[in-house]
Structure 1
């Protein structure tokens, strides 16, 4: 299979470095934010405000903005927030920000046609001048598969085959793999052509082995777990990288819920998928994560405080401890 963002040595291609290396760098930890950024208890996002917060995050030096793909909502789902279509939002972010990387966390690869995904990825990459990282997941809600006419039992195979089609379309040279090739079918191209590679990132496992992920992806993005479990998960990842891509750098990232206390000295307390903590304990947590091999953390903010206030405190007090520039 052609790997769109890796060269024959298993390293990221030079023109994929801009976005990927600012987010994932060996021996370092960078910090991003997940949209929408909402105060605790808010379920209806004001997307004009979200664009303003995205511009603030860009100006204050956060390394990435992460966008979820939530095709449908149900009263049975734990997350009642109405998310914009990810491609529409990514397009708006591309023209409202200048430096920050834009990452999908994650496009549901199994429920969208892979050629549509590739076309959208090229478009966002072009609009953002190479700041887009294409995170791909398989979705974790079986009822959505039925709604889209898919069998959730086919999730693993769909993920692999769709990844291959996306990677080929975004590769160098790009190659369109049609679903069908009737007699006399033309050879297709994907336009616009872009001078920027779009790196592919596995978000979650997609039903694949860690060895498969290490061979095909620039890294592995996963959810927060308690420290001992996360260390074990990272050790499993490093072992897979050594087997599947020896001597190559493969990133490890974590999505974490954060309730940042107004008391900077408040001790860290575990909450679902993250922490409630003051900034001093947060710095200690992130320092330990960096030492343990985590290269990027994106915060899913949840706080009674105004969101801009939290973003500014993180930028003033936390980012300087981890960002080199």
Structure 2
């Protein structure tokens, strides 16, 4: 089994810039849409991605939404994550690219490994592979999977994926008939693509602390988030006491045009002006959060919000260019 402790040579240009001890970095989740919009112009998304890169955001996050349904709360039509990540790799220069998250249980791990290596190579080592398990039983049925096997599928696929992306790479076939050749995963890269748990995947926090670069979760109200972080730190002390393990949060942000507007909770985040946002982020940094990715959703054009955040918020947490 390949664990996170065996992945210390991961891409420092990506992982250590996004996740660093006693620091907080900021990212953005694509697509960047106005509140209520459900159709993304992906040419515009690439333009916004370049802007985020130029302005110093540390990460762009891309979701994996295989299927849509009228019963789902998210009506947005997302591009295939690997196609979008490939485009982002050649349209940006410095910003980390993170999958948030590839549905590990519904994709073959060797296909994921091949795609991850490809994005990492195209982006020159800027890729972080975030992995989730999916939580919609009808999608499991559509792909011929049993949702009751979610936990075991996640662990088994993680092990196969980690072995394929490790140094040295090992391809673990589903079946190995007599006389079958040994396989390689090419092209190889100098870096080991870091693996990040997004959500729990049905696993214990101890399992996540042993195997993953860190744990990415959704925003919760402050008391609940502090309790969740305390649980995480205890797991890290038990399972990986000598290693750094990151903690990150995905937050909905409705950034008001009024910089003095007080923060008001909304689903999975806040509506707030930038001054209150800075206070929220300072509290999160003090509480142990290493990265926050914003899911922008307001009446403002996304470029306008990006510019304000870059000018007035990023320098308080990311002082270097």
Q: Fold match, TM over 0.5?
A: yes
2:137 matched residue in structure 1: 142
Q: Please, what TM-score do these two structures have when normalized by structure 2?
A: 0.99
Q: Does 1:129 align with 2:121?
A: no
**How many Å separate the matches in 2 of 1:295 and 1:130?**
20
Contact 2:128 2:196 in 1 (8 A): yes
**How many Å separate the matches in 1 of 2:292 and 2:135?**
21
Name stretches of at least 5 consecutive residues in structure 1 with no aligned partner: none
1:97 matched residue in structure 2: 92
Q: Please, what TM-score do these two structures have when normalized by structure 1?
A: 0.97
Q: Does 1:320 align with 2:311?
A: no
2:2 matched residue in structure 1: 2
Following superposition, the deviation at residue 196 of structure 1 comes to 1.9
Q: 2:157 aligns with which of 159, 162, 167?
A: 162
The count of residues paired between Structure 1 and Structure 2 equals: 320
Structure 2 counterparts to residues 1-325 of structure 1, below 5 A? 1-3=1-3, 6-7=5-6, 13-325=8-320
Following superposition, the deviation at residue 15 of structure 1 comes to 4.4
Contact 2:9 2:191 in 1 (8 A): no
Contact 1:129 1:196 in 2 (8 A): no
Contact 2:160 2:172 in 1 (8 A): yes
Contact 1:202 1:221 in 2 (8 A): yes
**How many Å separate the matches in 1 of 2:88 and 2:5?**
26
**How many Å separate the matches in 2 of 1:219 and 1:322?**
20
**How many Å separate the matches in 1 of 2:137 and 2:240?**
32
Give the root-mean-square deviation of aligned CA atoms: 0.8
Following superposition, the deviation at residue 247 of structure 1 comes to 2.4
Following superposition, the deviation at residue 294 of structure 1 comes to 0.1
**How many Å separate the matches in 1 of 2:84 and 2:194?**
19
Misfit runs of 4+, over 6 Å: none
Contact 1:126 1:196 in 2 (8 A): no
Name stretches of at least 5 consecutive residues in structure 2 with no aligned partner: none
Following superposition, the deviation at residue 14 of structure 1 comes to 3.7
Following superposition, the deviation at residue 241 of structure 1 comes to 0.1
